[in-house]
Structure 1
Amino acid sequence: MKLTSIRARLLFGSVGVLCAGFIVLMVIAGAQISSAARADFEYRLQNEIQLIAQGIRSELRQDDRLTDDEQAALIAEYEGRTHGEITLYTLDMDGGSPRRWQWGGGPRRSFRDAPEMETALRGDTIVVERNNEQGNPALYTAAGINSQPPVLVQLSVPLANLQTVIFERWALLWLLFGAVLVAAVIASVLLARSIIRPLTALKQSAHQLAAGDFSSRVEYTRDDEIGEVAHAFNEMAHQVESMLEEQRAFAANTSHELRTPLTTIRLRSEALRYEEGVDAGTLKQYISEIDDEAQRMGTLIEDLTVLARFDAGRAELGSDAIDFALLAASLQRRIQPHADAKRIGLVVNVPAGLPPVRASLNHLTVVFRNLLDNAIKYTPEGGVVTWTARTEDGGICSIISDTGRGVEPEQIPKLFERFYRVDKARSREIPGSGLGLAIVKSIIDAYGATIRIESAGKDRGTAVTVWWKGQTNGL
């Protein structure tokens, strides 16, 4: 595992923060634990000396003349309970110094260096720390026994006993820290694995995508940020695959569309070059066909150039104020002869006074000329093509409708695809390359306008709605 990997950073980061926080907590809590343990231990010693004093008082009342063995057994019993050393002192009734009670006499002792004894004489108890007779630190406490003569009982416990209690509590704290640390490591590893696993799958899919397998997708079921990344990656892969498929189809269709006129031109030119005795009528026909095919190929190349510019974002968008009524009148004059030749009625209802739009006159002309040409091409003789316009939502709404062949609803989303033809079987009968609507969509998207195609079905006509922003909003 690399130290710079996400797994390592998650693991060391989370564990490091936890350790630092827990160490600070332990320093604070440890001091309180030590203080509380000492206070608790001292309180327990004071309770113990009170209980011992009461027990000895009870034994003395029963028999003031205990034998030495009984005395030793009684003290040993209490010492076993407290894990300390118990000493009994009696006070001389003649005012002399207290002496250690040996039940048979013993040396006199002064209480000047034993505050617990002075306190016991006053009927209270305290705990003090000092070295015992062996020179080791110990805790001392004492209590008085109301008897004749007065007796004091002293309890001495090695300080090591308190340190053992404190150590046990520290050990419990460290054990808790270790358990939390192990849990944190396990949680960090599981968290890192849950994050790294989809990222690993994402990396593998990216490598497959880079190797040319554009069908590779990331499987995910998570509804979080990583799931969103996986979803975005799949969307990107889908877009790349669709784009490449579109490019392949575009290249194939372009080659096909260019090959057809080139084949016709080559056949006619070879006939003119190698055939002898071509009559004047045939010669004129061949030249006319060559010219038509060359014009068709030139139009195709021009359309492809327009599409390439808009795809690359290099098309220059115009900002001229266009009078929509004048544009409609100009297009009607151009297209009317074509409509008359097919015996199709062309109705243009674009009133004057519509707000102008800012655009390139050439781009607007390309858009509505293509839409009108399509309407006429797919409308049989005797049909009607109608162009109406009105102001709507601060812009101009244009509707070009026809009574032609119509489009099935499932085919409408494909109409803006390049080289797409609704009736491919009759594509040679109806002129065109299938690029018109693709060019229209590119221009409309570039200007921020909208286009919508509606049809009730086959042989039920088509309506194309285009909405342009008004001049006040700009384009």
Structure 2
Amino acid sequence: MFKMKNKNIRTKIISNFFVVILITILVFELAVIHFVHYFYYSSMEGILTNEIKLSADLFEAYLNDDLNNIVLQDYDVFYKRTEAQVQLMDNTGIVLMDSIGSSDLGKKLESEDIISAQNGNMGKYIYKRNFNNINVMSLSAPLKSRGQQIGIIRLSVSLEKIDAVIQSIIIKLIIFGIAVSLLSLLLSSLMSLSIVKPLRKLTLIAHQIAEGNFHIKAKVDRSDEIGELARTINFMTENIQKKEQIKNDFISSISHELRTPLTSIKGWAITLQSEDYGMNQLMSDGLDIIEKESDRLSGMVEELLDFSRFVSGRITLQKEPLNLVSLAKSLSTQFKIRANNEKIDLIVNYDRDPIMILADKNRIKQVLINFLDNALKFTESGGTVVINILDVGEEVTLEVIDTGIGITQEEIELVTERFYKGSNSHSHTGLGLSISEEIVELHGGYMEIKSREGEGTSFKVILPKGGLFRE
């Protein structure tokens, strides 16, 4: 009756916790990667800045001469002091000297760093070489002679090793992030159990309470919200038990109080009908109605008394060997007149005779009467009611099938609920099927109800033989 949804609270706790951890790890790793990249690139920029400043200061202090003469005579002073690529350019950006003899020699360069140097400032430019797709950092600074800028010095260095180090760190961070994510997933799963496990226990208890077990108690071993929920459930069940007891006592009391006057009313109605008091037809019909209504009310009282016994646990079974075929034939004869009056065919089918079980005859009879009464009540003229009795090894199947109006799919799960009356029901108390199910379960069996609206209904009972097997 109760089904857990696929996406339960534990899944939500784990997924939410994991998403928070994952976002935290991603933010942390992105921040670390940015810092590592900035640190290594800034360090390289600092080294190149120091070297280019030293070269520019050296030129201004000691090599204060025409740039073309420097290129021809003292160019080695610049590139012997560094491992970087050294380029000397005039103020227009034409490369006059290249320490590695690259294809830039004699060409005019117009990168960002050179433009900054042309304006008298130090400039930086990071780019990828076309031929090997490796990052290169270039710094350019103005060369001055007697306060006048006469050229540009440019230092360029490959960032291949730095990028390899950064990539290695990134891979390690990714592995670390995956490991932390998996660990957090495991921890969140374990942590969620501390919340979900007691909630599942309380859910099972709530289901049992919903099914009518008001004597069950929730274990209170926590001081948090879950413990408070357990205490609330226990308080609720205690109140329900008190109210149920009051209701059951009232039903039992009023049923007993009604039984005596109903017996007297019926008795006097029968007595008056049996004697000749010169009654007219109207009085005779009135007494007949009184007798029938007394029978109907007595039946209702008996159902209420049975209900009171079942819920209070006072019911006991008087088991004895019982021939179900004989019982079905007897009840068929009893209901035959009613069936004929309503133009309904009443049929009994069985695969062998006798079919014996160990059961309380009166209680099984009560179940079968209830089934037949419902079947005849909801089957229209021209319909059929069939009693099937089958011997299936250690069990016996007792089934009543009708061609009546049927039960809606919405109501079929509710017809055995106490005091439930369907939309088409003529039940007096709504207890008949509920009591029948209780009787069947006390015998160790179970009841099945199948129905199609407009086609009919099947009431089936599967009962154990109770040790009475066919030889």
The two structures share one fold, judged by TM-score above 0.5: no
What is the TM-score when the length of structure 2 is the normalising length? Answer: 0.43
Larger radius of gyration: 1
What is the TM-score when the length of structure 1 is the normalising length? Answer: 0.43
